[in-house]
Amino acid sequence: MPLYEDLKAKLAQNDILAGIIGLGYVGLPLMHSMCSKGVKVLGFDIDPSKAERLNKGESYLDTVPGDIVKQWVDANLFSATSDMDRLKEADFIIICVPTPLDANREPDLSYVESTAHAIARTLRPGQLISLESTTYPGTMDEIVKSILEATGLKAETDFYLAYSPEREDPGNKDFHTASTPKVIGADSPEALDIATDFYGRFIEHVVPVSSSRTAEAVKLTENIFRAVNIALVNELKVIYDRMGIDIWEVVEAAKTKPFGYMPFYPGPGLGGHCIPIDPFYLTWKAREYDVQTRFIELAGEINHSMPQYVCDKTAAALGGLKDKKLLVLGVAYKKNINDQRETPAFPLIEILEQGGAQVDYYDPHIPEILPTRHHPGLTGKSSITWDPAALGAYDAVLIITDHDTVDYGTVRDNAKLVIDTRNAIKSPAENVLKA
């Protein structure tokens, strides 16, 4: 089997070039892990300005700062381009593009499809293509494989396919790309062995599974688990609040049980590219098999309702929203990062403004709101300058993202009313309301 033997020989000699398509929150950390182990990387992004910045040793992500990018550029281990014709140079092509939902909350695989077509234009024998974007079981086989085989080349004969879902957790100080176990699925023993060998070069522990569909299902299962449990604790928050019980105190006590319980925490809604979106990929695919996904859909409804719940609590505390001046603390979807994808802060701001409130925000990681598909009216809105003395000018301050750099004791001491959705202020205070 010349294809298999040639790739194994290249891997043994570390004589390979990896191409990463999509230089964002998945692609850049992956590049860093590869270069750290001496794997040469050619990065692809449709935005020429991103490629230009990276080639200058600059970065646009907190998770992979510019000094790291510059280190690998200077070492001639990394360069970036927007020229998709150069895909033919890569032995291993890793797809890290978005998989959002459309306006009807159905899978939007347009980025995966357009990327597969771009690969197909220069596809050559001897390449392995791996998809890391989260999707429903069958995507590699039904979409990517079909597009690539339309060239006349055949999977497992002329090229290999694999699926290895990303497991990035931006801001996590305990786990990074290389130290997080990597699930790998492929539809032939040869493809699985090649993919496992490749990823094993820069990932500490790889977990092979029997097929690409199994690997696709693994990622969905991980994210559905989180979505359902977060929805459960959000529902308990609402119930216990009516009873005068603090959900945060309940969770802290419950997690002292050393077995049979895992803590999840409530919040103002779900954010990030995975948890609010990925479960609905399975919901959509399950219809093909005439199966209802009731847990997933109910969890989605509960989590989606949380911004409105926070708004209602705020309005009740203030006697209405009209002409109220409000400050939202944090618009990133999670603490200590500059990632605004699917953040619950955006629908919350819109709901508050629709109620007649004037809303400002402060976020040390997001000085200006970037364009989004669903919240175009917020594009360009800028963070205020931090001034504790100015907090008293607002009718309420809403803690939506609990960045560590904010002194919440100062917030409590200077604000008239604090709506705390993250338990950032743990000591009871008359002007602090949990939501």
pLDDT tens digits for range 300-323: 999 999 999 999 999 999 999 999
Provide φ and ψ at 81, rounded to 5°. Answer: -155, 160
Report percent pLDDT > 90 for the chain: 92
Helix (H, G, I), strand (E, B) or coil at 147: helix
Point out the catalytic residue in the list 35, 96, 274, 311. 274
* CA within 13 Å, CB half, 10: 21
Helix (H, G, I), strand (E, B) or coil at 249: helix
Provide Rg for the chain, Cα atoms.
Answer: 23
- Does residue 158 share a domain with residue 67? yes
The count of other CB atoms within 10 Å of the CB of residue 393 is 13
pLDDT tens per residue, range 68-115: 999 999 999 999 999 999 999 999 999 999 999 887 888 999 999 999
- Cβ neighbours for 329, distance < 8 A, ≥ 6 positions apart: 361, 362, 363, 397, 398, 399, 400, 401, 403, 406, 411
Q: Does the structure show a pLDDT above 80 at 387?
A: yes
Q: Pick from 247, 282, 304: which residue ends a domain?
A: 304
Q: What confidence score (pLDDT) does residue 62 get?
A: 85
Q: What confidence score (pLDDT) does residue 63 get?
A: 86
CA pair distance 20, 27, nearest whole angstrom: 6
- Does residue 133 share a domain with residue 50? yes
Q: Does the structure show a pLDDT above 70 at 1?
A: no
pLDDT tens per residue, range 267-306: 999 888 788 888 999 999 999 999 999 999 999 999 999 9
Residue of 87, 56, 71, 69 whose CA lies nearest to 28: 69
Average the pLDDT over 362-386 and give the result. Answer: 95
- Does residue 407 share a domain with residue 395? yes
Average the pLDDT over 126-147 and give the result. Answer: 96
pLDDT tens per residue, range 185-212: 999 999 999 999 999 999 999 999 999 9
- Does residue 140 share a domain with residue 6? yes
Residue of 95, 164, 93, 78 whose CA lies nearest to 127: 93
Residue of 260, 259, 238, 237 whose CA lies nearest to 250: 237
Q: Pick from 253, 277, 304: which residue ends a domain?
A: 304
CA pair distance 86, 125, nearest whole angstrom: 15
- Does residue 381 share a domain with residue 349? yes
**CATH of residue 287:** 3.40.50.720
Helix (H, G, I), strand (E, B) or coil at 155: strand
Q: Tell me the two tokens of residue 414.
A: 């200077």
Q: What confidence score (pLDDT) does residue 177 get?
A: 93
Q: What confidence score (pLDDT) does residue 101 get?
A: 87
Predicted confidence band of residue 173 (pLDDT cuts 50, 70, 90): confident
Q: What confidence score (pLDDT) does residue 105 get?
A: 81
| CA 43 from centroid of its chain's CA atoms | 19
Structural domain span for residue 132: 2-210
Considering the entire predicted model, what is its pTM? 0.92
CA pair distance 87, 428, nearest whole angstrom: 58
Q: Pick from 304, 324, 342: which residue ends a domain?
A: 304
DSSP-assigned beta bridge partners for residue 187: none
- Does residue 232 share a domain with residue 158? no
Distances, alpha carbon 11 to alpha carbons 17, 18, 90, in Å: 10, 11, 13
- Does residue 197 share a domain with residue 54? yes
- Does residue 256 share a domain with residue 312? no
- Does residue 181 share a domain with residue 129? yes
pLDDT tens per residue, range 8-36: 999 999 999 999 999 999 999 999 999 99
- Does residue 193 share a domain with residue 282? no
Report, in this order, helix, strand and coil percent for the chain, each rounded to 5. Answer: 40, 15, 45
Q: What confidence score (pLDDT) does residue 273 get?
A: 78
Structural domain total, the chain: 3
Q: Tell me the two tokens of residue 175.
A: 């786990």
Please state, rounded to an integer, the average pLDDT across all residues of the chain.
95
- Does residue 299 share a domain with residue 317? no
- Does residue 413 share a domain with residue 265? no
CA pair distance 207, 403, nearest whole angstrom: 34
274 noted as active-site residue:
yes
Q: Kindly provide the b/e burial profile for residues 197-234, where b requires at least 16 CB atoms within 10 angstroms of the residue's own CB.
A: ebbbbbbeebebbebbbbbbbbbbebbbebbbebbbbb
